Every structure is written in C-alpha cells, then in structure tokens.
Amino acid sequence: MAHSKNKQKNRLHQFWRRLGPGLITGASDDDPSGIATYSQAGARFGLTTLWVAVVSYPLMYVIQEMCARIGIVSNRGLAGVVKDHYPRWVLYVLIAFSCPAIVLNIAADIAGMGAVANLIFPAVPPPVFSIVFTASLLFFTVKLSYRKLASIMKFLCLVLLVYLAVPFFTRPDLGQIITNTFIPRTSLDKDYMMVLVGVLGTTISPYLFFWQTSMEVEMFPEKKNHIVLDKYILPVMKSDIRYGMFFSVLVMYFITLTAGTVLHENGVLQINTVEDAAKALRPLAGEMAYVLFAVGVIGISFLAIPVLAGSVSYIIAETMGWKEGLNKKFHEARGFYIVMIVSTLVGLVIQLAGVDPVKALLFTAVLYGITAPVLIGILLHICNSRKIMEEYTNKPLVNILGFVALLLMGLSAGLLIWFLVR
C-alpha cells in the first residue's frame, strides 16, 4: 500500500515537473482583463457563450505549440526570428501595435488588482494597493533567478482553481450547461458579436506568442541535436502546452459559467470590470464566493503582469540585439530589465492618471485584433519554412487548424473595427 502511494506521489511529482512555460502561458491568459471579458459574456448572454471554450482549445494549442516549436528549433525568440528572416518594417509594425497594447493591458490589470483588493480591505485606497503590488512585482521579477521565478509562477497558476468552485455556491442547471457547452448558439446581434470578438481576442492574445517562444529558449538554451529534440524536448513541450491550454480554457469556462448562472440568472446583465463582477457576486452567491473570486484576481495578477512586461522586454531586446532573459541577472541584461521596469511603471502611471480601464481594454482589443491575424500568418509562414524549421515544419492538421485560427481572428478583427466605426 505504501509502495503504491509513493509511486502515485512520484508520478504526480514528475507530471508537475514537466509543466512549465505552457502552464504559465495558459494561466496568464486568464488575467484580470480576461476575467472581466469572460464575466461580461456570462452576465450579458448567460450560458450561450460556453461553447467558445471548447472551440478555443484546439486553436490555442496549435498557435502556442507553433510558437514553442519555433523557440526550441531556432533557439531564438519570435521577434528575433522575424528580425532575421523578414523585412525590418514588418518587425517595426508589429512593435508599433503590440507594445502599446501590452502596456495598456498592464494598466488595466494593475487597476483591476488594486480595485479588487480594495473590496476586501476598504480602508486602503485602490491606488495604494496598485503601487505596493507593482513595487513588489518588480522587486521579485528582477531579484529572483528564472528557476525560482518560474517555480513561483507555476504555483500562482493554482490560484485560478478557485474559479472551479464558485459556480457550485448556487445550484446550476446541468442540462442547460451541457447543451450550451457542446451546441453552439450564435446571433448576429451587435452586442453578442462584440462579446464573442472580445472573448476570442482575449483568449488568443499576441503577447502570449512572444512570451511562449522566448520561454522555450530560456528553458532549453543549449543547441539541441535531433535525437534529444525528438525523444525528449518536443514531447515534453507538447504535453506542457496541451495541459496549459486546457487549464486556461477550463478557467475561462468556469468564469463564464459563474457569471451565467449567478449574475445573468439574477438580472445582472452589465459587467464592465472585475470589481463589478466581484461586487455583483457578493449578495447573490455569498461571502465565500465573493472572496474566492477576488483572491483569484489578485493572485493571477502577480503572474500575468510579469508575463505582459516580460513580453515587451523580449520584443525590444531581440529587436535591439541586447542580452536578454530572466535567467540573467540585472547587470547581465540591463536593457532587458529596464524595459520590463519601464513598461510596468508606465502601466501604473496610466492607472494612477485615472484612465478608464474599460476604454483601455477597448483600445487593447483593437490593437490585439489588428496584430493577431498578422502574427498568426507569420507563425504559419515560419513553421512551413524548412530554412528556419528544418525537418520540424507543420503537419497538415496543424496547418488546417492554424488557418482556421487565422480566418477566425481576421474575421473578429474586421467585425470589431466595423462595429466601432459604425
């Protein structure tokens, strides 16, 4: 019996060790701005957007797997690969759209974290929380080694498990849940399409492409031979991405489910921010559900903001040819860390300046919407290039799903711009 328990414990330990960049990427996708978007979907349209999680999973997996494979095979971050193999203007256009969007995302997440913390401790103003949290994040990100930081990030992912419990503080209709999960219900209504576009844009976010690629380089920095790639590195990477993306859509699903069963069913149809969602939950689902929701927002912010700021650092450092990486100390990669610090502080300043977080998220969605289809097209082109990927080019199924993601994100971007112009 003891031997069986030890064996099971060892398997669990091995499984946990195999999880890395994919899990962190997937969890950071459920940042406060994502939580707000999923809450909006559930509150406004009930359970009718649950099916989006099922559709998103294979597309997220394929996109992030391509990013990871590029990093592992080329030993370069995504911005570095674009710089080496494409005209410079392509890279500069990507920077022009990606970096401002990421900084606005940081601002929205800092605002959400401070506001939700204030709901738990009303005596402390939200800006004070925002400043303290930002200072703490910067200190630990710069001070800790990559191994320690990655380990902490992995455990922060577990905070999101609270969202799996929140819907069960009420009595959801299981029949309705199953039906809406597996039978898509769509509407040409403008509000429904805007929410749908927002959910897709939040789920398949361009900053994750840069982060995932660079994280694989950090995790496997040495030059790999084909035997090591085929037998160990690529299978581990695919497993990590598979579980990480599943975790991401699972949390997305349960946040939408929470809003759909608790808020929508009780007539709360308008949610703009994470604090709106938390406040609305309190009288309807009870104190425990409210606290769990708030704790989830604060916990995941400590993961998501360094990922966002780190993405900007990798983009700029690779473009400028600077030394880069969280595995380096500050004095070894000054430019890399300075960009991370500046982008986080700019996000804080935007939040303290009183910029409406809802408007910040809207601008972020527009910029991401424009960038995502272009980046997915570049990913597909890179992953079908034998010059870059050697024998590790895309399989036919990966190309099919990649093109589906490209078309879907392109259509989403077009619809978003059309609705805003009208």
Instruction: Write out the DSSP string of 344-369.
Output: HHHHHHHHHTT--HHHHHHHHHHHHH
**Rounded distance between C-alpha atoms, residue 356 and residue 363, angstroms:** 11
Tokens, residue 139? 């200190």
Give, as one character, the DSSP assignment of residue 233.
Answer: I
- Residues 49 and 257 sit within 8 Å (Cβ to Cβ): no
Domains and their CATH numbers in the chain: 19-421 (1.20.1740.10)
**Rounded distance between C-alpha atoms, residue 129 and residue 118, angstroms:** 7
Which value, in Å, is the radius of gyration of the alpha carbons in the chain? 21
CA distances in angstroms from 221 to 70, 98, 108, 233, listed in the order given: 13, 25, 33, 12
Tokens, residue 391? 């024998």
What pLDDT sits at residue 229? 76
Give, as one character, the DSSP assignment of residue 161.
Answer: G
The greatest distance separating any two alpha carbons of the chain, rounded to the nearest whole angstrom, comes to 67
Give, as one character, the DSSP assignment of residue 46.
Answer: T
Q: In terms of Cα–Cα distance, which of 285, 297, 291 is closest to 260? A: 285
Give me the DSSP letters along 73-141: HH-S-HHHHHHHHS-HHHHHHHHHHHHHHHHHHHHHHHHHHHHHHHHHSTTS-HHHHHHHHHHHHHHHH
Write the CB contacts of 273 (distance below 8 Å, at least 6 apart in sequence): 36, 111, 112, 115, 357, 358
Q: What does each of the 422 residues of the chain score in pLDDT, given as a tens digit?
A: 555 555 566 666 566 666 678 888 888 888 888 888 888 889 899 899 999 999 999 999 999 999 999 999 999 999 999 999 999 999 999 999 899 999 999 999 999 889 888 888 889 999 999 999 999 989 988 887 766 777 777 777 777 777 777 777 677 778 888 998 898 877 777 788 888 888 888 888 899 999 999 988 888 776 666 776 777 888 889 999 999 999 899 989 988 998 888 888 888 888 888 888 888 877 776 777 777 778 888 888 888 899 999 999 999 999 999 999 888 889 899 999 999 999 999 999 998 998 887 778 778 877 888 889 999 999 999 999 999 998 999 999 999 999 999 999 888 888 877 877 77
**Rounded distance between C-alpha atoms, residue 319 and residue 84, angstroms:** 10
CB-CB neighbours of 390 under 10 Å: 12
Q: Return the exposure string of 124-150: e unless at least 16 CB atoms fall within 10 Å of the residue's CB, then b.
A: eebbebbbebbeebbeebbeeebeebb
Residue 303: in which H helix or E strand, if any?
A: helix 287-320
Amino acid 54 reads V
User: How many degrees, rounded to 5, is the angle at CA 68 between CA 65 and CA 72?
Assistant: 135
Tokens, residue 138? 């910067």
Q: In terms of Cα–Cα distance, which of 272, 271, 274, 293 is closest to 115? A: 274
Residue that has been written with the tokens 């401070």 in this structure? 114
Q: What is the distance in angstroms between the CA of the first residue and the CA of the last residue of the chain?
A: 67
Q: In terms of Cα–Cα distance, which of 239, 159, 247, 155 is closest to 203? A: 247
What pLDDT sits at residue 6? 59
In this predicted model, what pLDDT tens digit does every residue of 10-68 receive, in sequence order? 666 566 666 678 888 888 888 888 888 888 889 899 899 999 999 999 999 999 999 99
Q: Specify the pTM.
A: 0.90
The alpha carbon of 87 is separated from its chain's Cα centroid by a whole number of angstroms, namely: 28
**Rounded distance between C-alpha atoms, residue 72 and residue 389, angstroms:** 10
What pLDDT sits at residue 395? 95
**Rounded distance between C-alpha atoms, residue 293 and residue 14, angstroms:** 30
The alpha carbon of 86 is separated from its chain's Cα centroid by a whole number of angstroms, namely: 26
CB-CB neighbours of 6 under 10 Å: 10
- Residues 142 and 326 sit within 8 Å (Cβ to Cβ): no
- 3-class DSSP state for residue 269? coil
**Rounded distance between C-alpha atoms, residue 290 and residue 301, angstroms:** 17
Tokens, residue 5? 């328990």
